[in-house]
């Protein structure tokens, strides 16, 4: 059995892991590369393997860095099955169609304004490409073993976002446990990840492998920011992933209002049509999160929905505050939040809350490093608002949680491979595993193939 590290090796995005056994070839995840230009350009290149030779994809969860290249795989000849949990299936349908729509709109906008270096600017894939992918999705239950060629596969809950899973893959002689993205033990909405099952090899994420999250809670950060814009009569702008992060933010803001810790009259605008679709799934799948039936619907009843582009523009034209705006994307790579940033970023009364990981090469990462202007839609925009970075909102396990998760493995694996992390984070976690557990551990290179 071989493992091929075709993405998320030495970087956080583009998760793609090939498992090859006696003629059976599957991918665990098929994610989009994000961040630096040289990473994004990998999305346009041919896959290192012929998609026609793949029997299946096992999808751990719906985030774009794990699912976003599926339409490209299908476009280039893949006809197999994409296995995932039922919530992941429904989230992936929403996310892929939204991703394709945004790419088409961004290409159209770039061509209209003439700021792209490409003539014409093209979408990486279209809505039609995404629609051709959806019939290949097939839901499986957690803890239910299923067969793909010579391989047995079983999914286990990983926390992180709705429906997220880890994947155990075995050929009957050797086994590999793919952690997927591991959630936090104290996430407001998601349960903690299940401990790993016995496996010969563990492929484990390392996003926060070099640090622990701030001891200041996400709710306390929100409270401080809301009170500050209430005083300045400004705008609290929160770029957010529409899946997972946005729902946590809305839940905690609602709790702060209900508990009287922030003014209840401050309006909250949720500018993500996709995020609203995602919110409905929290009602459909209460068994996958901490809340009971009907509880998340109550949260959404207190939120102003921004559905159309005209509604979004009207929000930008109204400079009055205080108010809170939550919009995608979480790393400021595209979407409506960029128009909000152009409108509210130059005003010092306002706050931009960076609620989570910002991948190198993104606008969010530039702001973390003190950038005072950003290039948006071909123009440079002054950023005079207060920028508040915080990892307290992260849906990823930190260094301590990762180590505690690994220590629960029922047997010592032959080797641990660290993926889905920047080089520094992965290497720091490697050193810690080596020091504390004395296990064989390495950080694979992109496109490295390892025989087990």
pLDDT band at 121 (very low <50, low <70, confident <90, very high): confident
pLDDT band at 36 (very low <50, low <70, confident <90, very high): confident
Region for 212 from its dihedrals, namely left if φ exceeds 0, alpha if ψ lies in -120 to 50, beta otherwise: beta
Q: What is this structure's pTM?
A: 0.91
Determine the pLDDT at residue 117: 66
Determine the pLDDT at residue 252: 97
In degrees to the nearest 10, what's the CA dihedral of 27, 106, 245, 332? 110
Nearest to 197 by CA among 153, 160, 149: 153
Determine the pLDDT at residue 118: 67
Domains and CATH numbers, the chain: 2-211+395-451 (3.60.15.10), 218-390 (3.40.50.10890)
Nearest to 166 by CA among 285, 244, 84: 84
Averaged pLDDT, 190-212: 97
H or E element, residue 381:
strand 379-382
Is residue 36 within 8 Å of 13, Cβ to Cβ?
no
Phi/psi at 223 (5° precision): -60, -45
Determine the pLDDT at residue 116: 63
Taking each helix axis as running N to C, give the angle between helix 399-407 and helix 423-437, from 0 to 180 degrees, rounded to the nearest 10.
Answer: 40
Determine the pLDDT at residue 197: 97
Per-residue model confidence as pLDDT tens digits over 90-112: 999 999 998 898 888 878 877 77
Averaged pLDDT, 218-240: 97
The pair of structure tokens assigned to 319 is 């400079």
pLDDT band at 356 (very low <50, low <70, confident <90, very high): confident
Determine the pLDDT at residue 147: 98
Average pLDDT over the chain, rounded to an integer: 94
Averaged pLDDT, 52-80: 97
Is residue 190 within 8 Å of 61, Cβ to Cβ?
no
Per-residue model confidence as pLDDT tens digits over 261-310: 999 999 999 999 888 899 999 999 999 999 988 899 999 999 999 989 89
Averaged pLDDT, 413-419: 98
Determine the pLDDT at residue 92: 97
């Amino acid at each position: 059995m071989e493992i091929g590290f075709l993405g998320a090796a030495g970087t956080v995005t583009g998760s793609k892991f090939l498992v090859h056994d006696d003629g059976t070839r599957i991918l665990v995840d098929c994610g989009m590369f994000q961040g630096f230009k040289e990473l994004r350009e990998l999305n346009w290149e041919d896959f290192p393997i012929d998609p026609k030779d793949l029997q299946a994809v096992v999808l751990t969860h719906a985030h774009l860095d794990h699912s976003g290249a599926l339409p490209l795989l299908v476009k280039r000849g893949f006809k197999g099955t994409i296995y995932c949990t039922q919530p992941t299936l429904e989230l992936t349908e929403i996310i892929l169609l939204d991703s394709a729509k945004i790419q088409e709109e961004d290409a159209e906008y770039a061509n209209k304004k003439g700021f792209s270096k490409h003539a014409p600017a093209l979408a990486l894939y279209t809505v039609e490409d995404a629609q051709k992918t959806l019939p290949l999705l097939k839901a499986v239950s957690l803890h239910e073993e299923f067969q793909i060629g010579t391989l047995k596969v079983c999914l286990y809950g990983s926390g992180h976002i709705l429906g997220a899973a880890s994947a155990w893959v075995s050929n009957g002689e050797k086994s590999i446990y793919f952690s997927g993205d591991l959630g936090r033990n104290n996430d407001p909405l998601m349960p903690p990840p299940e401990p790993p099952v016995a496996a010969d090899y563990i492929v484990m994420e390392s996003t926060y492998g070099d640090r622990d999250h701030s001891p200041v809670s996400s709710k306390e950060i929100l409270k401080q920011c809301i009170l500050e814009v209430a005083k300045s009569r400004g705008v609290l702008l929160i770029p957010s992933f529409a899946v997972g992060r946005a729902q946590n933010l809305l839940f905690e803001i609602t709790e702060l209002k209900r508990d009287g810790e922030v003014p209840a009259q401050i309006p909250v605008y949720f500018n993500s049509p996709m995020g609203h679709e995602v919110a409905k799934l929290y009602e459909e799948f209460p068994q996958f999160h901490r809340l009971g039936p009907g509880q998340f619907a109550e949260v959404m009843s207190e939120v102003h929905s921004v559905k159309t582009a005209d509604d979004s523009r009207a929000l930008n034209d109204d400079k009055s505050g205080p108010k809170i705006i939550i919009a995608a994307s979480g790393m400021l790579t595209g979407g409506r939040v960029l128009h909000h940033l152009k409108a509210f970023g130059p005003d010092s009364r306002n706050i931009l809350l960076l609620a989570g990981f910002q991948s190198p090469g993104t606008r969010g990462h530039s702001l973390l490093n003190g950038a005072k202007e950003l290039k948006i839609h071909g123009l440079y925009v002054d950023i005079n608002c207060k920028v508040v970075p915080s990892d307290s909102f992260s849906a990823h396990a930190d260094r301590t949680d990762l180590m505690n998760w690994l220590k629960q493995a029922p047997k010592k694996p032959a080797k641990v491979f660290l993926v889905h992390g920047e080089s520094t984070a992965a290497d720091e976690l490697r050193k810690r595993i080596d020091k504390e557990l004395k296990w064989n551990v390495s950080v694979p290179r992109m496109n490295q193939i390892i025989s087990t």
